[in-house]
Amino acid sequence: MAQATIGNSEFDRDTTVTRRAPGTGSAAESGAPSAAVTATFDADLSARWSILKALNGGYLLAVLGRALGDTLPHPDPFSITAHYLTASQPGPAVIRTETVRAGRTLSTGQASLVQFDDDGAEVERIRVLATYGHLDALPNDVRTAATPPAMPPYEHCLGADDAPDGEVPLNDSSEIVDRFDMRLDPATAGWAIGQPSGVGDMRAWFGLADGRDPDPLSLLLAVDALPPTAFDLGLSGWVPTVELTAHVRRRPAPGRLRVAITTRNLAGGFLEEDVQVWDSADQLVAQARQLARVKLG
Which residues lie near a copy of itself (CB under 8 A)? 27, 32-36, 78-79, 81, 83, 85-86, 100-101, 106, 108, 110, 124, 127-131, 135, 138-146, 199-200, 233, 242-243, 245, 247, 249-250, 264-270, 272, 283-284, 287, 289, 291
Least distance to a copy of itself from the beta carbon of 8, Å? 28
Answer yes or no: are the C-beta atoms of 216 and 76 closer than 8 Å: yes
- Nearest approach in angstroms of CB 180 to a copy of itself is 26
Give strand pairing partners of 39.
Answer: 97
Residue among 36 and 160 whose Cβ is closer to a copy of itself: 36
Rounded Cα gap, residues 285 and 241, in angstroms: 22
Q: Which is nearer to a copy of itself, 18 or 147 (CB)?
A: 147
Smallest gap from Cβ 64 to a copy of itself, in A, equals: 13
Q: Which is nearer to a copy of itself, 250 or 256 (CB)?
A: 250
Inter-residue contact 17 to 128 (CB < 8 Å): no
Q: Which residues of 129-164 are buried (b: 16+ CB within 10 A; e: fewer)?
A: bbbbbebeeeeeeeeeeeeebebeeeeebbbbeebe
Instruction: Output 185 or 232, the one with its CB closest to a copy of itself.
Output: 232
Compute the distance between CA of residue 32 and CA of residue 73 in angstroms, rounded to an integer.
25
CA-wise closest residue to 245 among 102, 132, 81, 115: 81
CB of 36 to a copy of itself, least distance (A): 4
State which residue, 20 or 83, has the beta carbon closest to a copy of itself. Answer: 83
Residue type, 232: D
H or E, element range at 14? helix 10-14
C-alpha to C-alpha distance for 267 and 177, rounded to whole angstroms: 30
Shortest separation between residue 211's beta carbon and a copy of itself, angstroms? 27
Nearest distance, CB of residue 160 and a copy of itself, angstroms: 28
Cβ distance to a copy of itself smaller for residue 50 or 245: 245
Kindly state the smallest distance separating residue 243's Cβ from a copy of itself, in Å.
Answer: 4
Cβ contact 131:124 at 8 Å: no
Judged by beta carbon, residue 160 or residue 266, the one nearer a copy of itself is 266
Pairing state between β 91-102 and 107-116 = antiparallel
The pairing of beta strand 39-45 with beta strand 295-296: unpaired
